[in-house]
């Protein structure tokens, strides 16, 4: 059994290295609070200790699983252009609300106002689908179409967000200082991939890793996706079993 665990751990380390999880930034940019997670230097680039990455990742996914089972709302956040497609892909597969670009100021601290804009988008989309806009002139229809596209770009990933989220998973901590400040003000739990140039103590559950390379972020988000889908499956099975018992009693 011990040998099997060792093999599994070694495989995980090898996969992380292959994905480039261990690459940090130049030593001159390293945040001092990331030093405990650094194992060495290569060509002026700090190298992250992937054994510690594996440890913090395991801690994070176990906590995330608990949040999913508790039916907490998790918001996935990523600001970097190169990660946009990946963030949206994982969010869709896990059915999570998401922000895959510039953060919407006040989303957490002024959620009531922002939610009205989200509802406005959904209303316009519904009216468009029903053909209600056909009664307007072509110029008016064009204006509405432009507004829909603008709102979709800003709020498209938030249409399933009907209340303030309980948990944030931030892909790129270095690009989302405002997000962290808003989350702290609202007392939300925050998970984040922390590169060597960020402060891991600024969030509740830091995962020390390369958050610039798509391959590295994908490795971590795939692990996150697996645990969320697993927890959702457990939850659905439990709900179905409870309903079956209720039907039997009836």
Higher pLDDT, 165 or 9: 165
> How far is residue 196 from each of residues 11, 87, 89, measured CA to CA in Å?
24, 21, 26
Residues 175 and 216 occupy one common structural domain: yes
Higher pLDDT, 250 or 90: 90
How many residues are given for the chain?
Answer: 250
Which residues fall within 8 angstroms of residue 176, CB to CB, at 6 or more apart?
Answer: 77, 79, 103, 170, 192
Domain count for the chain, please give it: 2
Instruction: Indicate if the pLDDT at residue 2 is higher than 90.
Output: no
Residues 97 and 186 occupy one common structural domain: yes
Q: Which one of 159, 194, 229 terminates a domain?
A: 159
Tens of pLDDT along 188-229? 999 999 999 999 999 999 999 999 999 999 999 999 999 999
Q: Is 40 helix (H, G, I), strand (E, B) or coil?
A: strand
Tens of pLDDT along 126-143? 999 999 999 999 999 999
| Domain span including residue 177 | 28-108+164-238
Residues 232 and 149 occupy one common structural domain: no
Q: Which CATH number is 143's domain given?
A: 1.10.287
Residues 140 and 188 occupy one common structural domain: no
Residues 114 and 209 occupy one common structural domain: no
Q: Which CATH number is 84's domain given?
A: 3.40.50.10490
What is the torsion angle, in degrees rounded to the nearest 10, for the CA atoms of residue 95, residue 101, residue 105 and residue 111?
A: -10
Report the predicted TM-score, pTM, of the whole model to 2 decimal places.
0.89
Return the pLDDT at 250.
Answer: 56
């Amino acid at each position: 059994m011990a040998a099997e665990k060792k093999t599994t751990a070694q495989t995980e380390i090898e996969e992380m290295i292959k994905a480039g999880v261990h690459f940090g930034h130049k030593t001159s940019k390293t945040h001092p609070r990331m030093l405990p997670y650094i194992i060495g230097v290569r060509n002026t680039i700090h190298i992250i200790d992937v054994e510690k990455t594996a440890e913090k990742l395991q801690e994070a996914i176990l906590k995330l699983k608990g949040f999913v089972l508790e039916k907490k709302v998790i918001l996935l956040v990523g600001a970097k252009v190169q990660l946009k497609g990946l963030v949206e892909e994982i969010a869709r597969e896990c059915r999570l609300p998401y922000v895959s670009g510039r953060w919407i100021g006040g989303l957490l601290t002024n959620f009531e106002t922002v939610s009205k804009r989200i509802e406005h988008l959904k209303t316009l989309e519904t009216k468009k689908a029903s053909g209600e806009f056909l009664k307007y002139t072509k110029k008016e229809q064009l204006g509405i179409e432009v507004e829909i596209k603008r709102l979709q770009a800003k709020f498209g990933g938030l249409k399933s967000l009907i209340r303030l989220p309980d948990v944030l998973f931030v892909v790129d901590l270095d690009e989302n200082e405002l997000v962290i400040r808003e989350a702290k003000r609202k007392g939300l739990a925050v998970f984040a991939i922390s590169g060597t140039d960020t402060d891991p103590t600024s969030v509740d559950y830091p995962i020390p890793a390369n958050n610039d390379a798509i391959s590295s972020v994908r490795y971590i988000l795939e692990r996150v996706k697996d645990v969320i889908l697993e927890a959702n499956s457990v939850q659905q099975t439990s709900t179905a079993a409870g309903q079956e018992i209720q039907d039997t009693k009836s």
